[in-house]
Amino acid sequence: MGVGHHTRYVSAARQTDFDTPETSADAVGEVESEGFQQSYDILKREDMNYYGSAKAVVSKLYSEGQFSMALQPCKFTLMMLHGIMGADSEETDGTVLRTFTELPITSNAELPVFTFFVGRDDTEHRFPGQVIESISVSASIGEYAMMTVNTIGPKQSSSTETLAVAVPSYTGDAAHFQKAYVQFEAAATSSAYSALVQSVDFEIKTNRDIDNTYNLASDTCNRPAPPTMREVSGSITFHKALLAGDVASNEVYFNELMAGTGSVVNPSGTNPALSILFEVDASNFIRFDFNKLIYEMPETSVSGRDSQTMTVNFHALYDLGDQNQIMSINCQSSDGATDYDAL
């Protein structure tokens, strides 16, 4: 039996107007799995004449998306990072170094809105007006670093579009554990990092308020779901329970966290409290810097068959005075033009 070719893809374009979906993609992602779908509420009407509801209508329509992919400095990934951060700047010196920062408190700008194009074997499904709800990143021994993106927005616009020839423009590899560097109280580099970290993961959430996007006389969202409180949290696992004598790169250790003396970390100046670098090579990388952290009490245990490890959960805080934001992202990519944010 022959093996058929399936056309499957996730691509995206930034919308210049929430009410006007894009018709062609700006970038294609090397997505491992996706789960975009439309949902709606059922509004049932009850009355005392019958023992069950006799009438119902379809109520609020909305769409949600989720996809996972290896973390790589391609145009598609950088569009997603711009979507959750909002502000960006670039420096050009042969290749482009781009820095994503959070929108200032005084800014009237809104976070980007996207149309997603999802190819599924026979037809293309389109999901306009999508905003980034959250991005999760993880890295562990023996694996590629992974990124998961969740989106939310108005109802699906089409499920019968013609499939596109969706070929990613990025030709490099993704970041994997051998080039994932974690550093404490300084920027991570390929030569300055902790040798004690076994795995790390974190999530950036915007906590979108989808219920506050509807108005009378419409069945779906009429504006981008507004973000509420931004939350950034994660965990770090060390390959042993750290004591004071183990610390070589400002790692947090058990006794100081137990006493509460090292729970809040906020270096002065431009040094981040935690820096995580995912590198493909010197010209293709993504680095996440968290400016101020509070750590939870470490979790550690032993058994007869497993060696001891130590896991520490953390929450990123707003760094008032030095950086005036929670986090920033520095990245460099060889993928095409400098127009990573699709403006």
Domain range list for the chain: 8-43+58-164+171-333
Of 182, 235, 229, 189, nearest to 209 (Cα)? 229
Read off the pLDDT band of 96 (50, 70, 90). Answer: low
Q: What is the pLDDT of residues 302-343, one digit of tens each?
A: 888 888 999 999 999 999 988 899 999 999 988 855 555 533
Q: Residue 303: what pLDDT?
A: 83
Q: How many CB atoms lie within 10 A of CB 176?
A: 19
Give me the chain's average pLDDT, please.
91
Statement: residue 126 has pLDDT above 90: yes
CA distance 300 to 197: 14
Q: Residue 337: what pLDDT?
A: 52
Of 131, 102, 56, nearest to 232 (Cα)? 102
Q: Report in angstroms the alpha-carbon separations of 54 from 38, 50, 51, 57, 61.
A: 25, 7, 9, 11, 22
Q: Residue 340: what pLDDT?
A: 52
Q: Residue 100: what pLDDT?
A: 92
Q: What is the pLDDT of residues 48-64, one digit of tens each?
A: 999 999 999 998 999 99
Q: In b/e form, how buried is each residue of 209-245, taking b as 16+ CB within 10 angstroms?
A: ebeebbeeeeebbeebbebeebebbbbbbbeebbeee
Q: Residue 342: what pLDDT?
A: 39
Q: Residue 93: what pLDDT?
A: 60
CA distance 164 to 159: 13
Of 22, 10, 13, 113, nearest to 66 (Cα)? 10
- Out of 31-45, 83-97, 193-207, 285-299, pick the least confident: 83-97
Residue type, 228: T
Of 235, 237, 253, nearest to 245 (Cα)? 253
Choose between 341 and 189: higher pLDDT. Answer: 189
Read off the pLDDT band of 1 (50, 70, 90). Answer: very low
Choose between 106 and 54: higher pLDDT. Answer: 54
Report pTM.
0.92
Q: Residue 263: what pLDDT?
A: 92
Q: Residue 343: what pLDDT?
A: 39
- CB-based contact 30:10 (threshold 8 Å): no
Sign of CA dihedral 144, 26, 340, 220: negative
Beta bridge partners of 38: 63
The mean per-residue pLDDT over the stretch 65-69 comes to 97
Residues 6+ apart with CB under 8 A from 227: 111, 206, 207, 208, 209
Q: What is the pLDDT of residues 260-300, one digit of tens each?
A: 888 999 998 889 999 999 999 988 999 999 999 999 999 99
| DSSP line for 77-136 | HHHHHHHHHEEEEEEEESEEEEEEEEPPTT-------EEEEEEETTEEEEEEEEEEEEEE
Burial class (CB in 10 A: 0-12, 13-18, 19+), 314: buried
Of 50, 80, 332, nearest to 204 (Cα)? 80
Statement: residue 113 has pLDDT above 70: yes
The mean per-residue pLDDT over the stretch 88-112 comes to 82
Q: Residue 94: what pLDDT?
A: 54
CA distance 306 to 301: 9
Choose between 169 and 252: higher pLDDT. Answer: 252
Q: What is the pLDDT of residues 244-260, one digit of tens each?
A: 999 999 999 999 999 88
Choose between 312 and 6: higher pLDDT. Answer: 312
CA distance 168 to 334: 13
